[in-house]
Structure 1
């Protein structure tokens, strides 16, 4: 998404660089919160992109596995209600 925005001229690479490191130092949370939403989204995407380059394996917390186990147990016990994609799209949230 970020690359599309950059290609379409919504934001330029120098703006992203300025957002990431104004005056050559990392931003404080108050500075980040003061940015327009569109720039915060770009910043967030930059952070996600930087994590993709990490070769270190990050372990999921134990509670992730517990949630997956609970959901599998519901499926196996036939207590889960499954929806098709179309049914999900038709639900009111």
Structure 2
């Protein structure tokens, strides 16, 4: 499981990129797997969080005012590569 610090860093990086693009991210649409890994970090984010079953281990951080209207108003984050990397390291250790 990716560390909470890694997840927080991904979210902060995506948020900063959106801010540099001129939007103010205020919502996080997240899959159940993503929310499960987030745990208690959700309280620290200062974002409205909505669970979207179809996103699974992904999340979309966005500015709700422009979501669906402006392409650069959202950014998708995936923790699936982190989960795969973790499994690869486990397999290597078992060799």
Work out which structure has the larger RCO, using CA pairs closer than 8 Å and 6 or more positions apart in sequence.
Answer: 2
TM-score (norm 1): 0.26
More helix as a share of residues: 1
Q: Which has the larger radius of gyration?
A: 1
